[in-house]
Copies of this chain bind each other. A is one copy, B any other.
Amino acid sequence: MRFTSEQRLDDDVLERSFALGDVPGVLWTSASAVAPAPLVLLGHPGGLDRMHPRVTARARACVAEGLAAATIELPWSGVRPRSAAADQARADVRRTLAAGQPVGDEIVDRLILPLVEASVPEWRAAIDALLLRPEIAGPVGFAGGVIAIGVRLARIEPRIAAALLFAGSFVPLGIIEEARRVTAPVHVLLQWDDEGNDRQRALDLFDAFGSTEKTLHANMGGHTGVPQFEGEASTRFLVRHLR
């Protein structure tokens, strides 16, 4: 893990870009903390440069509550090499939606499952590397999307102590089956009237989680319109389970 740039944000937040092998990432920590902080992995849909303002806002909220936050770029997104198969799957989704048709499970599987397979080992490698740093300690939380990545990570990675999951990306049926074996506390954010989201699939996924503590918070406001009070409730969920 190699730091490539560093900047002090105007509040007490140190933002450092890093490379983990070929995978770029960003780490946000408190500039003044004396004790190692629990780690929140911030999920996103891919394209870190484009997502940077929104991910940074979520990272700041974590750091303000005594948590460290980090993210990595997804395979085939942003500056990383593209994949013909991923490009094809994305094109098929766009074409299907443009035709006003439902996106079938064959396309969903082709879009999401390779992404889960390729990215989850990278998130685990990021956990390995980040937990070696003196300013970071366990436990580890995952917060964001792609929701299927969060489910797989929560299922196979025992260091994940809490998962805050944003419903809003496609969910393969196989991932719903995997959710039955997730036992970490789960908090699902669902935008009720999000047109690009299959609400029933999200409810089926929530129902499937094997976790004793699972919470679903649904709101109006579209894909990017999560109300401020829900952002605060999400941070409280992470703090409750990680600190």
- Chain A residues at the B interface, C-beta cutoff of 8 Å: 192, 203, 206-207, 211-220, 227, 229-230, 233, 236-237, 240
Contacts and interface: CB of A to CB of B under 8 A. Distances in A.
Contacts of A206: 192, 218
B220 A218 contact: no
A121 B233 CA distance: 36
B220 A207 contact: no
Given A215-B218, A216-B218, A217-B217, 7 more contacts: A192-B207, A192-B214, A211-B220, A212-B220, A213-B220, A215-B217, A229-B233
A186 B206 CA distance: 22
Contact of A215 (B203, B207, B219, B237): B219
A223 to B, nearest CB: 16
State the oligomeric state as a number of copies: 2
A202 to B, nearest CB: 11
**At the interface, is chain A mostly helix, strand, loop or mixed?**
mixed
Contacts of A211: 220
Contacts of A240: 229
A141 to B, nearest CB: 16
Q: Which 4 A-B pairs have the closest CB atoms?
A: A216-B218, A215-B219, A217-B217, A214-B220
A12 B231 CA distance: 32
A227 B213 CA distance: 9
23 contacts: A192-B206, A192-B207, A192-B214, A192-B216, A206-B218, A213-B219, A213-B220, A213-B227, A214-B219, A214-B220, A215-B217, A215-B218, A215-B219, A215-B220, A215-B227, A215-B230, A216-B216, A216-B219, A217-B217, A217-B218, A218-B218, A229-B240, A233-B233
Given A207-B192, A229-B240, A240-B229, A216 B217 contact: yes
